[in-house]
A and B are shown apart, each in its own frame.
Chain A
Amino acid sequence: MKARLSLMIVLTVIVACASVSMAYDYDNLDFGGKTITFLYYDPNNPLDADVVAEAEELFNFKFEMQVVDWDSYTEMAMARLLSGDSDYDVWMMGHPHFVQLVSNNAVLAVDEMLPADHFDYLDPSIIERINKLKMDGKTYAFHSWIPVLNDMVFWVFNKDIFERDGLPDPYELYDKGEWTWDKVEEIALMATKDTDNDGEIDQYGIGEMRTLFTLIPNGARTVDLVDGQFVFAFNQPEALEAINLVYRWRTLLKVSQGTWDIREFLAGTRAMTGVISWQFWTLMGTELNYGVVPLPKGPNATKYVFPTDKVCMFYLPANAKEPEKLIALVNYIAPSAEWHEMTMFDQWIPWWVRDEKSAQIMMEGIENWEGEFDIMEGTLTIPLDPVFNGEKSAAAYIDEIYPQIQSQIDDLFKQ
């Protein structure tokens, strides 16, 4: 009986392994010595050099990483496509690049090329990202090298300031479901003060406020998809609330003041601030005693959300030759689902946080992430300064710029 059970287990493992290798025909993967160029926007090569070297030998190709800065990425990709140099390219890019390139028919739809079980071996967050980046029902992104946590947006608070000023515990408020804009405003008002009595405010409740921190937590977004067309959605009530909150905290109540690089929070002069996860690499090197909670939810939200700032994925250019082979190669080189999980749960979170509760909240963020990100974030610049400065009301100003922004969106998506 025992022997039979062992045999069954062994057979199951063999079948499982076989199904993994069945997804891609690695035995017959040969590029005939071609150079495969990975176009990337960051000089820090995120791919495992040993795996790449192994793949070069196994699949007979030469790996080349071409680095181009973020702002020139789209032009470089387009130039390579137009010159015909991109037929053996793999594009590693952010969603703003993708949006611009896909609307110029520069990116290859890969639905027909993906093996049936391609998604079985991907990290769930990658599948969410792939689905969110579908355009006209077509799949373009097919893998990623970055764990979703890298670009997730959180809210951090300085525990020392909270303790010293007797401010309510954000963890308790979070647990009770009361981590809301109203509560955060109350806390920010209490925390904003002149600590050395020189007549000037030197401690603010909140660092820099941006719509990145308020739109998605209030169920709003920059564009809606209506009958297959992208429509500017800042005139919706939930978006106006989100914009008004930034104005209220920044200008009206003056409880928010700071810069994008959270330097004021790092200097210990802000009680709270919104952060994008990669900023934890800086935070973790400090002596600051900080806690992590989700972005406070707006009146229109039903639950806490953990939006991401950027979504960076692998794509193929429209003129890719042997796309199936290139997809298989990327699948071989890209980090596995296990690596994504291990990196986030066993490395980054323990390194980044100061206590168990923060770790738990981050893990919840990853597990509950349902692709919350704004495709227009970083793609479209909407100047909201007249609202934030108090010169115009949000509703009036959005009405004023609506035609101009909508025409930019139409141009962008060629609709």
Chain B
Amino acid sequence: MSDNLNTRSIGARFQQTPAKAALERLQKLFTPRNLGGLLVSLGRLGVLIGVSYAILFPLLAKIATSFMAEIDIFDKTVHWIPKHFTLDNYRNAIKYMKYPSAFVNSLALTLGLSLLQLASCTVVGYGFARFDWRGREVLFAAVLFTLVVPPQMIMIPLYLNYRYFDFFGLAKEMQLNLLGTYWPLVLMASTATGVKNGLFVYIMRQYFRGMSRDLEEAAYIDGAGVFRTFFSVMLPSAVPAMVVVFLFAFVWQWNDYFFVNIFAGNRHLLPNALAQLTGEYSRDLTVAGTEHVMRAYGSLLNNAGSLLLIAPLVTLYIVLQRYFIESVERTGLVG
């Protein structure tokens, strides 16, 4: 009996034309339930493409124009692909930014500051998460408040603080001028007050709060002190959040011009070199007047310079993409 059935169904299958089979498959695919899901997916795809386009458009436009000759900018028929492809913008940007030395200096500074920020924000975050002390909530609100304060607003006090540095009021008679050195940046990074450090403290605090207390309590019962518990038990478990903090710190510190210009404006670092790019280039020209570099060429040069500035970051992101996304997910920064 079952043999008959199998033979019949196989025979029926063989009798179907390819068009009929395709139709059947489509019918199965477009059930009302599937159709709803498909529409949602399409909508989501549309939103993702739209958002990606909005984010990537400026970058793609910069990449396209960085390979253009000046004449291409004014050619209405040139939209994305240059008619006069050139690498001159990059050559000039590398030459006038003194890119290799600026790169090495920036890399050393950024790595150092990022590690310091990571260390300080982790300790501070742990303190906020695990210890009860008077004024904790108020101070934490102040930490969050630093995220919304524009840097210009704190520029004067910061400048004065490091112009007459008295070890945070501890040695008032010994005032040092730290401007023009890396010390203000190092001190800010070491005390969790560097670029966007409020956010990093928040991330670490949230992560530590989400960790089970059992581990800590077990360590305390085994006789470990606060530091031992922190270094041997809590830190190894907080690696995902630390990776996020380190990557964010690196990216923001790398791109920071504001603080670098105030405290170390005389140092040969990439953001300073980019800011002075057209100025350096114009010094080689002999045209009189205040506008030595034609604005159009200045924008091409700046586009190439900006891309050279972010190139290491893009490379870093491509190499560490997996860790970056995983860490962001694990720390609960995304929904």
Contact = CB atoms under 8 A, between A and B. Distances in A.
Given A45-B283, A83-B163, A343-B289, A78 B156 contact: yes
B278 A43 contact: yes
Nearest to A351: B289
B275 A67 contact: yes
Contacts of B291: 44, 150, 278, 281
Contacts, number: 85
Interface residues of A, number: 39
13 contacts: A43-B277, A43-B280, A44-B282, A44-B293, A49-B283, A68-B265, A69-B257, A72-B258, A75-B156, A78-B156, A150-B291, A281-B294, A284-B294
Contacts of B293: 44
Contacts of B41: none
A113 interface: no
A75 B155 contact: yes
Given A44-B279, A281-B291, 8 more contacts: A42-B279, A49-B283, A68-B261, A75-B152, A78-B156, A80-B159, A285-B294, A343-B288
B296 interface: yes
A285 B155 contact: no
Interface string A372-384: 0000000000000
A146 B278 CA distance: 18
Nearest to A66: B265
Interface of B: 70, 73-74, 76, 152, 155-156, 159-160, 163-164, 257-258, 261-262, 265, 275-280, 282-283, 288-296
Interface of A: 42-46, 49, 66-69, 71-72, 75-76, 78-80, 82-83, 85, 145-147, 150, 266-268, 278-279, 281-282, 284-288, 343, 347-348
Nearest to B156: A79
Contacts of B73: 285
A79 B292 contact: no
Contacts of A71: 152
Contacts of A278: 291, 295
Nearest to B154: A75
B279 A43 contact: yes
Nearest to A147: B290
A72 B163 contact: no
B288 A268 contact: no
Contact of A43 (B152, B155, B276, B289): B276
Given A83-B163, A83-B164, A267 B76 contact: yes
Contacts of A82: 156, 160
